[in-house]
Amino acid sequence: MSAAQKNEGLGALRLIMVLASISPLFLLWAVRGTCQDSNIPCQVPKQTCLVPNQFFIAMCTLFIVLPNLLLLWRRRTARKHQDTREIVVGKAEDHRDHLLVYLFAMLLPFYATNLTSWREFSATLLAVCFIVFLFWNCNLHYMNVLFAVFGYRIFTINPPDDGNPLSGRESVVLITRRTTIFPGDRITPYRLSNSVYWEVD
């Protein structure tokens, strides 16, 4: 298999990173729960839950904490192994607007769904699986609100066209606190996956 046909590699880690990126959705679900009040006339309102609250909140918490812990473990491993790559900038684009795509594709539609019947719940889970697969397949695993929360920006970096037949042609994503990146800059960030790199201060 040539480099042009290679697979992206670290597939499980990329899936974990996608799950980490949708952790705010699990937070919203944990707050909403799967319970609803029964409104039967002449009876004291009673709450019925599709999934017991404790179990549902525990599962949501697991999906919030575990992927993000694994992401931090990956970053720690990359630092420990000095798993760096020298990136040369041909063209850099700030892609903060991708967070809006993420917001509209992921958080808003799924937040609005009703999780109080098994049918709705199953359909929502299937839809989340489709979205997770698309994010994984399209290498959008860098999309994480937590990066923005901690002051990181997302840049797409295209390598320079130097005419060298051996130079890489694939663009990479850089997570960094820099505000600007100029053509010709050389940056040595840690590798999270083959297409996503993290510059630690």
> What are the residues binding another protein (CB under 8 A)?
1-4, 6, 9-10, 12-13, 16, 70, 73-74, 77-78, 80-88, 159-160, 162, 164-168, 170, 172, 186, 188, 191, 194
Sorted by sequence, the CB contacts under 8 Å of residue 194 that are 6+ apart come out as 8, 9, 10
| 174, 178, 184, 188: CA torsion to nearest 10 | -50
SS3 57: helix
Closer to another protein at the Cβ: 39 or 82? 82
User: What is the nearest approach in angstroms of another protein to the Cβ of residue 68?
Assistant: 14
User: What is the nearest approach in angstroms of another protein to the Cβ of residue 13?
Assistant: 6
Closer to another protein at the Cβ: 38 or 188? 188
User: What is the nearest approach in angstroms of another protein to the Cβ of residue 12?
Assistant: 4
Strand segments, DSSP code E, in 24-165 are 35-38, 46-49, 87-88, 91-94, 153-158
Phi, psi of 200 (to 5 degrees): -90, 140
* 193 bridge partner residues: none
Closer to another protein at the Cβ: 1 or 149? 1
Closer to another protein at the Cβ: 13 or 140? 13
User: What is the nearest approach in angstroms of another protein to the Cβ of residue 79?
Assistant: 10
